[in-house]
């Protein structure tokens, strides 16, 4: 029998979605409001669908063939508009089929002996892909006492996964928060992998739109962004990574992508270009943010996040676990959240509610949850 | 500075495409016939484009959201038609965004100490991804004296990359050829990674349509197929891997995909289902095979392959290297091939010509190359 990668044994975290699915199967009721999975609830903007259909017609008239592993120049050049003023160039922007993929694959570039630090609670792929690569993983707790902002550890690490605006907490890092990390990275030689999947939701003036707003970030930070939430691309698969030359990793990533990847689908990239200028897509973000704001107001002072993010991080009533409160929300109020512990042990005591929904549903949630607002 | 993966240094093989591009830049002439890159020359079948456009419209009416990492059931069930009689079930079929990606990522499942054997000449990702994963790589020479069919080595290895119909040789393995490998795998405990990207081109009755036609294959072989060449999907990105439970690797792959991947684009999977029944797509395969047959006849007895494959593996005239002959074809005859040495050192002495072209072009090539037919 072939020897399998022993690190798969290290993925011991209970996968919560099958448990939730089972609970949903047993659930009785026809008025469930789903604030669980972080998926969009509005359809794809019509102009984006149209741009992709046009690309299909184009392909049925003339073959397009293999595209570049790094993505088409038409999309990378369009993205440059958001990055040019930081001194980023087209050959530092790489298109891919999803931020999940890039966050996991970037581990390929580093020596297995590298030590990783990752936020807890956080998007599971940060820790899981590091474990699978045989790396040591240190947790950066994001708790009520540090306003859910990860703090640089006292020890040195080689790789740091950060996410802002945060998933699941919905809390965004300010310029000052990020400056601490850039300074840490310069001191220790660490590389920051910055998951900015929710950058499109930023409205506060003290929250940087990009990590490259911080002086010195270009030599220590890789930024990853997605079209999934900002343009309803969850089922279409398109994202991008910015890897500045100053990190010393640009050529290595290019080599990796040209060896192990064959590029993102052509019509999807045509849709992504349209998404950058789609008024309907940006109106959707505004609508989701209005839902987040209304939900935050309804839940009261124990609800965090929800300002530069579609997520609310809601503290559970005293004496309950996040699973207890999940069950109570589901059984008594017919509302689906996600138990915070599913995002790491520091997520215990919270549930995540998603405002990627409609105002009607937020109003109904408000009616049902009146008793918990405080 | 962060420690990078030292195995990137092992990728020493010269990448030939930049060299070819440079030669093309310097090329004078406006009548070049490109038989180089293995890309389709016919447009996407109209019914496939239509199915994908319909999926776009659907998404603009109602959000589809994240799909399963393993691929949608509608596509996996449709593929089952080709695999059901081998006893394969839906949960052993995994959709992805390209065979290149799967061939590279499958390396994740194995212990770094595993020894790999791979065909030479062959698709570079077999060896490259193994080198990047720190594995030892043994070459399986495919030469004129073994009819370009890789033979089981005397020593044991853990993983074997095979490809049939072969790229670049265009030669397909018969039932007997494959039986030898299944028997070797049973004896040594090796896993066979079977690249069947060109399965759609098989017409000979002694060439199995799937490796699972061979008794005992299900416990030792993973088969990967692509829509790229069989349905003109090169720019769309869709493929699939069959990982039978008997290999003991199905659950591990499912875990890998659910951790590090978020599924193939929804409209592309809708197009793939249509491709399985598209008459226009299968007419294209027939047309490419006619080109291959005509080209083979024109080139004479020194041209191999081209029967169950769109590729011709053409022996260069005595005393010339594959680069010499590449240059001569380009400069004197304005025909672009690929020097065989680009696919591994055992490819020296050959050029690959692709018949993914039109009959008009094959006729013109025949006129220009008359002198070499023997």
Q: Is the pLDDT of residue A99 over 90?
A: yes
Using alpha carbons, select from A306, A300, A287 the residue that is nearest to residue A358.
A287
Tell me the pLDDT tens digit for each residue of A253-269: 999 999 999 999 999 99
B103 and B166: one domain? Answer: yes
Contact state of A235 with B48 under an 8 Å Cβ cutoff: no
Per DSSP, the three-state class of B242 is strand
In whole angstroms, give the CA distance from residue B370 to residue B374.
Answer: 9
Residue-level pLDDT at B374: 57
Answer yes or no: do B294 and B192 share one domain: no
Give the residue-averaged pLDDT of B67-71.
95
Distance (Å, rounded) from C-alpha B33 to C-alpha B6? 41
- Name, in order, each residue with C-beta under 8 angstroms of B372's C-beta and a sequence gap of 6 or more: B299, B300, B302, B317
User: How many domains in chain A?
Assistant: 2
Express each pLDDT in A22-31 by its tens digit.
999 999 889 9
Q: Report how far apart, in Å, the C-alpha atoms of B318 and of each of B144, B314, B348 are.
A: 14, 12, 12
Nearest-angstrom CA–CA distance, A83 and A93: 9
| Confidence at residue B370, expressed as pLDDT on a 0 to 100 scale | 75
298-317 in A: which are within 8 Å (CB) of B? none
- A-B Cβ pairs (cutoff 8 Å, strict): 240
**Which pLDDT band, with edges at 50, 70 and 90, does B339 fall under?**
very high
Opening angle at CA A334, ends A333 and A339, nearest 5? 90
H or E stretch including B98?
A: none
Q: What is the pTM of this model?
A: 0.96
Show residues of chain A in contact with B2, CB under 8 Å. Answer: 110, 114, 158-159, 189-191, 249
Q: Which helix (H) or strand (E) holds B317?
A: none
Compute the distance between CA of residue A279 and CA of residue A149 in angstroms, rounded to an integer: 32
Look up the CATH number of the domain holding residue B30: 3.90.1150.10
Last residue of a domain, one of A250, A275, A300: A275
Q: How far apart are the first and last CA of chain A?
A: 59
The answer to whether residue A345 is domain-embedded is yes
Which pLDDT score, from 0 to 100, does residue B2 have? 87
pLDDT of residue A1: 76
The three-point CA angle B91-B97-B101 to 5° equals 95
Hey, is the C-beta of B42 within 8 angstroms of any chain A C-beta? Answer: yes
Chain B, window 56-75: residues with a beta carbon less than 8 angstroms from a chain A beta carbon: 56-57, 59-67
Q: Which residues of B35-53 are buried (b: 16+ CB within 10 A; e: fewer)?
A: bbebbbbbbbbbbbbbbbb
Final residue of a domain: which of A212, A241, A275?
Answer: A275
In sequence order, the 6+-apart residues with CB closer than 8 A to the CB of B237 are: A97, A262, A263, A264, A265, B97, B98, B264, B265, B268
Q: Is 90 exceeded by the pLDDT of residue B371?
A: no
Is B353 inside a domain boundary?
Answer: yes
In this prediction, residues A185-207 reach a mean pLDDT of 97
Q: A15 and A133 share a domain?
A: no
Domain identity same for B179 and B265:
yes
Co-location of A123 and A261 in the same domain: yes
- Please answer yes or no on whether B111 and A3 come within 8 Å at the CB atom: yes
Among A260, A275, A290, the domain boundary falls at A275
Nearest-CA distance A340 → chain B (Å)? 19
Tell me, yes or no, if B176 comes closer than 8 A to chain A by beta carbon: no
Cross-chain CB nearest to B268 (options A110, A262, A265) = A265
Residue A21 lies in a domain: yes
Whole-angstrom distance, CA of residue A321 vs CA of residue A348 = 7
Residue A356 lies in a domain: yes
Report the pLDDT value the prediction gives residue A373, as an integer from 0 to 100: 64
B162 to chain A, closest Cα gap in Å: 17
Instruction: Specify whether B253 is located in the same domain as B340.
Output: no
Q: Are residues B120 and B185 in the same domain?
A: yes
Angle (nearest 5°) at CA A14 between A12 and A20: 165
Contacts of B262 in chain A (CB under 8 A): 97-98, 100-101, 237
A100-139 pLDDT, tens digit per residue, is: 999 999 999 999 999 999 999 999 999 999 999 999 999 9
Q: Tell me the three-class secondary structure of chain A, residue by residue.
A: CCCECHHHHHCCCCCHHHHHHHHHHHCCCCCCEECCCCCCCCCCCHHHHHHHHHHHHHHHHCCCCCCCCCCCHHHHHHHHHHHHHHCCCHHHEEEECCHHHHHHHHHHHECCCCEEEEEECCCCHHHHHHHHCCCEEEEEECCHHHCCCCCCCCCCCCEEEEECCCCCCCCCCCHHHHHHHHHHHHHHCCEEEEECCCHHHCCCCCCCCCHHHCCCHHHCEEEEEECCCCCCCCCCCCEEEECCHHHCCHHHHHHHHHHHCCCCCHHHHHHHHHHCCCHHHHHHHHHHHHHHHHHHHHHHHHEEECCCCCEEEEECCCCCCHHHHHHHHHHHHCEECEEHHHHCHHHCCEEEEECCCCHHHHHHHHHHHHHHCC
What is the overall mean pLDDT for chain A?
Answer: 95
The answer to whether residue B1 sits within a structural domain is no
B269-293 confidence digits (pLDDT tens) = 999 999 999 999 999 999 999 999 9
> Cβ of B41 under 8 Å from any chain A Cβ?
yes
Residues of A with Cβ-Cβ distance to B260 under 8 angstroms:
100-101, 104-105, 125, 128-129, 132
The answer as to whether B23 is a domain residue is: yes
In this structure, what are the phi and psi dihedrals at residue B340, rounded to the nearest 5 degrees?
Answer: -55, -30
Same structural domain, B296 and B270: no
B1 in reach of chain A (CB within 8 A): yes
B22: which residues sit within 8 A by CB, 6+ positions away?
none
Residues A338, A324: Cα–Cα separation, whole Å? 11
Does residue B85 lie in a domain region? Answer: yes
pLDDT of residue A374: 56
Please indicate if any CB of chain A lies within 8 Å of the CB of B128: yes
The pLDDT value recorded for residue B252 is 96
User: B373 falls in which pLDDT band (50, 70, 90)?
Assistant: low
Q: Does A125 touch chain B (CB under 8 A)?
A: yes
Q: What is the mean pLDDT of residues B193-197?
A: 98
* Residues A197, A323 within the same domain: no
Length of chain B: 374
Residues of the domain holding B332: 6-43+279-372
Cβ of A265 and B62 within 8 Å? no
pLDDT given at position A364: 96
Strand pairing report for A239-242 and A303-305: unpaired
Inform me whether the C-beta atom of residue A235 falls under 8 Å from chain B C-beta atoms.
yes
Pairing between β-strand B311-315 and β-strand B303-305 as defined by DSSP bridges: antiparallel
CB A368 within 8 A of CB A334: yes
* CATH code of A248's domain: 3.40.640.10
Residue B30 lies in a domain: yes
Are residues A38 and A124 part of one domain? no
Q: Which helix (H) or strand (E) holds B241?
A: strand B239-242
Phi, psi at A311, each rounded to 5° = -105, 140
Contact assessment for residue B210 and residue B239, using Cβ atoms and an 8 Å cutoff: no
Which residue does chain B place closest to A48, by CA atoms?
A: B60
Would you list the DSSP string of B251-264?
HHHHHHHHHH----
For the cut 80, the answer to whether the pLDDT of residue A148 exceeds it is yes
Judged by DSSP in three states, B179 sits in: helix
Read off the pLDDT of each residue in A280-305 and give the average, rounded to a whole number. Answer: 96
Output the pLDDT for position B16: 85
**CA B285 – CA B222 distance, rounded (Å):** 25
* Pair B104, B208 in one domain: yes
Nearest to A242 by CA among A102, A76, A93: A93
The proportion of chain A whose per-residue pLDDT surpasses 90, expressed as a percent, equals 93
Kindly state the average pLDDT of the residues A244-253: 97
Q: Do A53 and B48 touch (CB under 8 A)?
A: no
**HEC assignment per residue over B180-233:** HHHHHHHHHCCEEEEECCCHHHCCCCCCCCCHHHCCCHHHCEEEEEECCCCCCC
Task: Say how far apart CA A171 and CA A167 lie, in whole Å.
Answer: 8
Query: For residues B333 and B315, what is the distance between their CA atoms, to the nearest angstrom?
Result: 17
Closest approach of B37 to chain A, Cα-based (Å): 10
Quick: pLDDT tens for B131-174: 999 999 999 999 999 999 999 999 999 999 999 999 999 999 99
- Check whether residue B224 and residue B87 sit in a common domain: yes
Looking at the DSSP bridge assignments, the partners of residue B139 are B118
Task: Give A303's contacts (C-beta < 8 A, 6+ positions apart).
Answer: A295, A296, A312, A313, A314, A315, A353
- How many of the other CB atoms lie within 10 Å of CB of A64? 21
């Amino acid at each position: 029998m072939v020897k399998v990668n022993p690190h798969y044994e290290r993925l011991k975290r209970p996968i919560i979605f099958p448990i939730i699915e089972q609970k949903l199967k047993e659930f009785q009721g026809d008025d469930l409001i789903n604030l669980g999975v972080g998926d969009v609830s509005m359809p794809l903007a019509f102009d984006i669908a149209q741009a992709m259909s046009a690309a299909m017609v184009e392909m049925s008239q003339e073959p397009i063939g293999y595209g570049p592993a790094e993505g088409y120049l038409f999309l990378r050049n369009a993205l440059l508009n958001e990055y040019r003023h930081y001194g980023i160039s087209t050959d530092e922007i790489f298109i891919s089929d999803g931020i999940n993929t890039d966050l996991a694959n970037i581990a390929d570039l580093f020596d297995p002996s590298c030590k990783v630090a990752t936020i807890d609670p956080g998007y599971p792929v940060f820790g899981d892909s590091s474990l699978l690569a045989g790396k040591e993983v240190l947790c950066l707790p994001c708790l009520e006492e540090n306003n859910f902002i990860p703090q640089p550890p006292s020890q040195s690490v080689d790789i740091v996964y950060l996410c802002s605006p945060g998933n699941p907490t919905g809390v965004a890092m300010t310029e000052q928060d990020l400056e601490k990390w850039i300074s840490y990275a310069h001191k220790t030689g660490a590389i920051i992998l910055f998951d900015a999947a929710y950058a499109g939701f930023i409205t506060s003036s003290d929250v940087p739109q990009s990590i490259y707003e911080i002086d010195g970030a270009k030599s220590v930070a890789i930024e990853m962004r997605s079209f999934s939430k900002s343009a309803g691309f969850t089922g279409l698969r398109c994202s991008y990574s910015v890897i500045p030359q100053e990190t010393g990793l640009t050529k290595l990533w290019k080599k990796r992508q040209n060896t192990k990847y064959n590029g993102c689908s052509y019509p999807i990239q045509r849709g992504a270009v349209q998404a950058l200028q789609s008024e309907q897509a940006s109106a959707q973000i505004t609508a989701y943010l209005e839902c987040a704001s209304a939900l935050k107001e309804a839940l009261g002072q124990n609800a965090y996040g929800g300002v530069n993010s579609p997520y609310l991080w809601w503290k559970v009533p005293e004496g309950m676990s996040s699973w207890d409160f999940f069950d109570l929300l589901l059984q008594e109020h017919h509302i689906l959240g996600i138990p915070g512990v599913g995002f790491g042990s520091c997520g215990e005591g919270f549930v995540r509610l998603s405002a990627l929904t409609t105002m009607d549903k937020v109003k109904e949630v408000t009616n049902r949850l009146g008793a918990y607002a405080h």
